[in-house]
């Protein structure tokens, strides 16, 4: 193994990086192409350069000279803490003059995303408490198992390190305690207007007859999500549901959890799409359950999605599945069919009028007569006054042209942004979709006004490649920071509008197959919800936004001045870090031996099952781990008939040595993140009393000897114990 790989991390101070930075003034061709392959192969095992090294990103290029066209794996470490992982792009041959060269495969580690910031905060908190030098380094792992460590920030003092990584006092507590559980009570607006945030809600995510017939048995949008693949190098794909799992909206508990999550982060209510075809309804079950069992217990309104139902997901006449045959004599019945919803005490009002959205009023014949009939009929039914709004789609913006009372912005229809050339993004020829700039879309929306009554709207992201694959449309460069800027501006525009009870609509809560979801996912966690929380509770704009150079031109002068003041407080922050007791860390040290509860516990009882979903994001059954690194295990367990879902229990993750000569060298730690997996229960078609619990555990194994350890879970309940083994194991290798 290379000497750089063998050295101890703490002795990195005196070593030199494998890669020396390339001057930014170098010719573009010479920066990314190496015309002399002989020279490339005759150098060290690694060739490369770090081009950007800051608190926002670490990027550059690197190549394995023994395998020029293969990508390599990179991990960023702070001390013994793994922060982020990535791989280089594959190197592609390119012509230089009459010869051929190997393109230098690049990499980028994003340190600006909230998940990475939290890991950095925890790592700094732990490593700065050590009086020794804090070491930050890149670990480069090659396919044959050899790895190299490239030191970063070697000549920087600890107080300078915190500044370099971009931390400030206003956001440090949030970084250390990411899951703030307090409910949001918005501060009253000086003008007496309190903005409500209402999310569009797709009532899908359950199987029903028509979808089974059109798309295959059991189809839901989760089917599309599971098939996602990145379409170009910068494509932020795939994403998977996090906190709520692959849920079914027919489950009361799922809808209750959605309501709790929405309330916690300042969401006022949901706007449900209604699919009504001359009296025939689709996706109606969630709305029926909303009335039957009251969940989710949130204010709500409806939007009539009055387009065709097409196989292309765009409401067009092409590949029609179910058409809208609008006629005045049919459409007047809509208000009667919706009466039970409109009479519900939770239904959202604006200035005393119940709001009804129509997605495309232009498709309705004789709209004026239709809406007049609706208004009269609403009074007869006891609904009262209604406020009919058009969604601003397909260039149909002005409600006066559509016989409506007001309009609702509906991004991406209402944004202006440039289309990004696919060649600049390195997209393959197989991708024929379109890519737009999200930050540019935000800029185009700031301060926008109309000469008619309207409600502003924003979208967290947009990416419909789960539905359309290589033909999809993607808004690139979306982020929680840019979304927060957009949402704050929309709230300000809503307050300045004509309504005493303003609303900002968000597209949307759960449009997973269009990438426009606020629900937590595997890529951003709750970061977009945190942005809503800050805006809804009138908190100052986050430091992440103020330190984002792409958004500086979107900030007010007051916000920019605040950013400058924060820079002078970084050093003071460092002095308080190790004294702070408000530290959240789920990291555990593995204890040697076995817990006393394991004695006499039956192994693998009937109907028991332990599923390890991934180890350090790897799905292999045997995963090699470095004892200096954190091990992260995710999975779920069913301990059999001896345990019921409503009983209290604790659990231990057990590491059982597979070497019969080392049975006394087992290890264990307590499972702290312990939650019932309703998505697994539904998938397994279990009884309500059956217990399927998920877990996520981060731990260190540096006290365990080298070797292979089988993963098991010891579950201890009221009078019951069970040890369930899995087929997965970790291999500790120094």
- CATH number, domain containing residue 60: 2.60.40
What is the residue-averaged pLDDT of the chain? Answer: 79
Looking at the structure, tell me whether residues 516 and 604 fall in a common domain: no
Asked if the model's pLDDT at residue 175 lies above 50, the reply is no
Q: What is the pLDDT of residues 457-488, one digit of tens each?
A: 999 999 999 999 999 999 999 999 999 999 99
Token pair 């209750």: residue: 256
- Contact by Cβ (8 Å): 69, 125: no
Cα 514 from Cα 313, distance rounded (Å)? 10
- At residue 26, the pLDDT reads 32
- Name the more confident of 79 and 206: 206
State mean pLDDT over 32-59.
58
Asked if the model's pLDDT at residue 516 lies above 90, the reply is yes
State mean pLDDT over 697-720.
87
- Within 8 A by CB and 6+ apart from 155, the residues are none
Do the domain assignments include residue 25?
A: no
State mean pLDDT over 587-602.
85
Cα 119 from Cα 225, distance rounded (Å)? 27
Percent of the chain at pLDDT above 70? 76
Domain boundary among 121, 145, 176: 176
Number of domains in the chain: 3
- Within 8 A by CB and 6+ apart from 617, the residues are 85, 632
Do the domain assignments include residue 387?
A: yes
227 in helix, strand or coil? coil
- At residue 85, the pLDDT reads 83
- At residue 157, the pLDDT reads 58
CA dihedral 213, 255, 413, 281 (to 10 degrees): 40
* H or E stretch at 275: strand 269-277
Percent of the chain at pLDDT above 90? 40
Q: What is the pLDDT of residues 648-673, one digit of tens each?
A: 678 899 999 998 887 788 999 888 76
- At residue 575, the pLDDT reads 42
- At residue 170, the pLDDT reads 43
Looking at the structure, tell me whether residues 596 and 492 fall in a common domain: no
State mean pLDDT over 524-551.
85
Cα 452 from Cα 398, distance rounded (Å)? 7
Token pair in block for residue 261: 């999550």
Looking at the structure, tell me whether residues 122 and 234 fall in a common domain: no
- Name the more confident of 21 and 229: 229
Looking at the structure, tell me whether residues 129 and 209 fall in a common domain: no
Asked if the model's pLDDT at residue 364 lies above 90, the reply is yes
- At residue 184, the pLDDT reads 47
Looking at the structure, tell me whether residues 356 and 458 fall in a common domain: yes
Strands (E) in 502-566, as ranges, are: 503-506, 510-511, 516-517
Looking at the structure, tell me whether residues 163 and 206 fall in a common domain: no
- Name the more confident of 492 and 561: 492
Angle, in degrees to the nearest 10, between helices 480-495 and 527-536:
30
Token pair 């990195």: residue: 12
Domain extent at residue 523? 196-539
Token pair 């009466």: residue: 339
- CATH number, domain containing residue 474: 3.20.20.80
Residue 278 CA to its chain's centroid (Å) = 38
Token pair in block for residue 694: 């998920």
- At residue 581, the pLDDT reads 31
pTM exceeding 0.85: no
Cα 94 from Cα 102, distance rounded (Å)? 6
Cα 458 from Cα 485, distance rounded (Å)? 10
Q: How far is CA 277 from CA 209, 281, 404, in A?
A: 16, 6, 21
Q: What is the pLDDT of residues 5-43, one digit of tens each?
A: 222 322 333 333 333 322 333 332 333 333 333 333 334
Q: What is the pLDDT of residues 280-290, one digit of tens each?
A: 888 899 999 99
Cα 595 from Cα 149, distance rounded (Å)? 37
- At residue 564, the pLDDT reads 60
State mean pLDDT over 583-589.
57
Looking at the structure, tell me whether residues 525 and 624 fall in a common domain: no
Q: What is the pLDDT of residues 293-324, one digit of tens each?
A: 999 999 999 999 998 876 554 444 555 667 77
Looking at the structure, tell me whether residues 128 and 265 fall in a common domain: no
Buried-state track 232-246, b at ≥16 Cβ within 10 A, e below 16: bebbbbbbebeebbb
Lowest mean pLDDT among 46-55, 120-129, 268-277, 332-341: 120-129
Cα 19 from Cα 43, distance rounded (Å)? 11
- DSSP-assigned letter for residue 531: H
Do the domain assignments include residue 684?
A: yes
Q: What helix, strand, coil percent values describe the chain, rounded to 5?
A: 30, 30, 45
Cα 491 from Cα 484, distance rounded (Å)? 11
- At residue 15, the pLDDT reads 32
- At residue 557, the pLDDT reads 67
Do the domain assignments include residue 682?
A: yes
Looking at the structure, tell me whether residues 379 and 308 fall in a common domain: yes
Domain boundary among 144, 176, 208: 176
Token pair 């949008």: residue: 221
Do the domain assignments include residue 168?
A: yes
- Report residue 576's pLDDT band, with 50, 70 and 90 as the boundaries: very low
Cα 206 from Cα 222, distance rounded (Å)? 9
Cα 360 from Cα 135, distance rounded (Å)? 58
- Name the more confident of 126 and 587: 587
Q: For the chain, what is the radius of gyration of the CA atoms?
A: 28
- Report residue 164's pLDDT band, with 50, 70 and 90 as the boundaries: low
Do the domain assignments include residue 16?
A: no
- At residue 19, the pLDDT reads 33
- At residue 345, the pLDDT reads 95
State mean pLDDT over 415-443.
92
- At residue 734, the pLDDT reads 74
Do the domain assignments include residue 552?
A: no
State mean pLDDT over 171-193.
46
Q: What is the pLDDT of residues 63-119, one digit of tens each?
A: 777 777 778 888 888 777 778 888 887 554 444 343 444 455 788 888 877 777 767
Q: What is the pLDDT of residues 131-146, one digit of tens each?
A: 555 678 888 888 777 7
Looking at the structure, tell me whether residues 123 and 250 fall in a common domain: no
- At residue 131, the pLDDT reads 52
- Report residue 503's pLDDT band, with 50, 70 and 90 as the boundaries: very high
Asked if the model's pLDDT at residue 380 lies above 50, the reply is yes
- At residue 675, the pLDDT reads 76
- At residue 511, the pLDDT reads 95
Do the domain assignments include residue 2?
A: no
Looking at the structure, tell me whether residues 127 and 206 fall in a common domain: no
- At residue 298, the pLDDT reads 95
- Report residue 689's pLDDT band, with 50, 70 and 90 as the boundaries: low
Cα 306 from Cα 324, distance rounded (Å)? 7
Looking at the structure, tell me whether residues 599 and 487 fall in a common domain: no
């Amino acid at each position: 193994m290379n000497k750089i790989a063998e050295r101890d991390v703490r002795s990195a101070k005196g070593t030199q990086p494998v890669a020396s930075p390339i001057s930014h003034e170098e010719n573009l061709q010479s920066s990314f192409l190496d015309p002399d392959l002989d020279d490339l192969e005759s150098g060290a095992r690694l060739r490369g350069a770090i081009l950007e090294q800051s608190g926002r990103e670490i990027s550059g290029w690197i190549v394995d000279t023994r395998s020029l066209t293969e990508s390599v794996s990179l991990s960023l470490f702070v001390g013994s803490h793994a922060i982020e992982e990535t791989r280089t792009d594959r190197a592609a041959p390119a012509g230089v003059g009459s010869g051929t060269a190997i393109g230098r495969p690049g990499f980028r580690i994003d340190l600006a995303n909230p998940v990475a910031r939290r890991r950095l905060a925890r790592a700094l908190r732990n490593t700065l408490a050590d009086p020794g030098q804090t070491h930050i380094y890149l670990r480069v792992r090659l396919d044959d198992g050899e790895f190299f460590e490239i030191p970063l920030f070697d000549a920087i003092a600890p107080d300078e390190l915190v500044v370099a990584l971009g931390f400030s006092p206003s956001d440090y507590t949030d970084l250390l305690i990411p899951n703030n559980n307090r409910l949001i009570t918005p501060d009253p607006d000086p003008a007496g207007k309190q903005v409500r945030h209402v999310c569009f809600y797709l009532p899908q995510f359950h199987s029903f007859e028509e979808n089974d017939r059109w798309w295959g048995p059991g189809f839901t949008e989760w089917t599309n999500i599971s098939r996602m693949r990145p379409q170009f190098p910068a494509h932020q794909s795939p994403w998977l549901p996090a906190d709520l799992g692959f849920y079914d909206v027919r489950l009361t508990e799922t809808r209750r959890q959605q309501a709790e999550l929405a309330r916690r982060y300042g969401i006022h209510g949901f706007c449900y799409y209604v699919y009504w075809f001359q009296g025939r309804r689709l996706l109606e079950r969630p709305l029926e359950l909303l009335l039957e069992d009251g969940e989710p217990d949130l204010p709500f309104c409806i939007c009539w999605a009055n387009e065709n139902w097409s196989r292309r997901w765009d409401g067009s006449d092409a590949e029609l599945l179910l058409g809208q045959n609008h006629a005045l004599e049919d459409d007047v019945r809509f208000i009667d069919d919706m009466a039970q919803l409109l009479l519900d005490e939770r239904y959202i009002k604006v200035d005393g009028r119940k709001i009804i959205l129509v997605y495309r009023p232009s498709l309705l014949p004789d709209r004026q007569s239709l809406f007049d009939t609706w208004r009269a009929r609403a009074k007869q039914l006891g609904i009262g006054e209604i406020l009919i709004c058009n969604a601003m789609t397909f260039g149909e913006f002005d409600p006066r042209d559509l016989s409506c009372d007001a309009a609702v912005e509906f991004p991406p229809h209402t944004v202006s942004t440039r289309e990004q050339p696919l060649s600049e993004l390195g997209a393959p020829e197989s991708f024929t979709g379109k890519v737009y700039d999200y930050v540019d879309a935000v800029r185009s929306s700031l301060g926008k006004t109309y000469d008619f009554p309207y409600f502003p709207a924003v979208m967290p992201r947009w990416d419909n490649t789960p539905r359309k694959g290589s033909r999809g449309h993607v808004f690139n460069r979306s982020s929680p920071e840019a979304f927060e800027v957009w949402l704050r501006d929309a709230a300000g525009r809503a307050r300045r509008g004509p309504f005493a009870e303003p609303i900002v609509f968000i597209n949307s809560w759960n449009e997973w197959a269009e990438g426009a979801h606020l629900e937590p996912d595997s890529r951003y966690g709750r970061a977009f919800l945190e942005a809503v929380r800050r805006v809804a509770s009138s908190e100052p704009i986050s430091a992440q936004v103020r330190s984002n150079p792409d958004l500086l031109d979107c900030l007010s002068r007051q916000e920019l001045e605040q950013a400058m003041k924060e820079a002078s407080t970084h050093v003071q922050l460092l002095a308080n870090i190790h004294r702070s007791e408000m530290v959240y860390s789920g990291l555990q040290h593995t204890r040697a031996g076995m817990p006393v509860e394991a004695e006499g516990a039956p192994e693998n009882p009937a109907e028991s099952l332990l599923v390890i979903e991934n180890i350090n994001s790897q799905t292999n059954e045997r995963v090699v781990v470095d004892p200096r690194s954190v091990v992260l295990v995710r999975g779920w367990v069913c301990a059999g008939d001896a345990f019921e879902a409503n009983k209290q229990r604790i659990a231990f993750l057990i590491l059982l040595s597979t070497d019969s000569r080392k049975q006394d060298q087992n290890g264990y730690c307590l499972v702290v993140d312990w939650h019932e997996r309703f998505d697994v229960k539904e998938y397994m078609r279990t009884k309500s009393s059956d217990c399927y619990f998920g877990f996520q555990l981060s731990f260190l194994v540096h006290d365990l000897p080298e070797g292979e350890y089988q993963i098991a879970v010891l579950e201890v309940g009221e009078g019951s114990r069970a040890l369930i083994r899995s087929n997965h194991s970790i291999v500790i290798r120094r």
